Structure 1
Amino acid sequence: MAKFSCSYFFLLILAVSAMLTVAQGGNVKRCSIILDPKECNIGSCIDQCFKQYKGNGVCGTSASGEVSVCYCVYPC
């Protein structure tokens, strides 16, 4: 019986902590901008995004799918 109760208690604590984490992070709006539309160097993309916007720089494909571009995702 104690093992059964301990398992439920652990799951309850895990669920509550997950809900608190989601509630805290849910209020932050994220914006994105293309920093370099011609090519993406991951090192400079990360540095430039962090220095200018305090965000996370990532490389991705352009809308046409032909070019690798530097996207910056940052808190609005």
Structure 2
Amino acid sequence: MGQKPSHIHTPSKHFVSAATIVLNDQKEILLIKGPKRGWEMPGGIVEEGESLKDAAIRETKEESGIDIEVLKFCGIF
């Protein structure tokens, strides 16, 4: 039998997340109060095969109950 490697290399996983800036007619911003990080914009992990746009819409609905329409893409950071 051959020797076992001293360590096994497993590729690191990279997660992509999407967040939204939701404004109402009065230009107020929607924030979600999370238990760990406090107040933040709605968002979360993009699921495999899901577009950034669809993930942003889904996460906003899950976290706030609000249906949104994406009007502008702000960027990738």
Verify same fold: TM over 0.5.
Answer: no
The higher-RCO structure (CA 8 Å, 6+ apart) is 1
Report which of the two has the higher share of helix.
Answer: 1
Larger radius of gyration: 1
Report which of the two has the higher share of strand.
Answer: 1
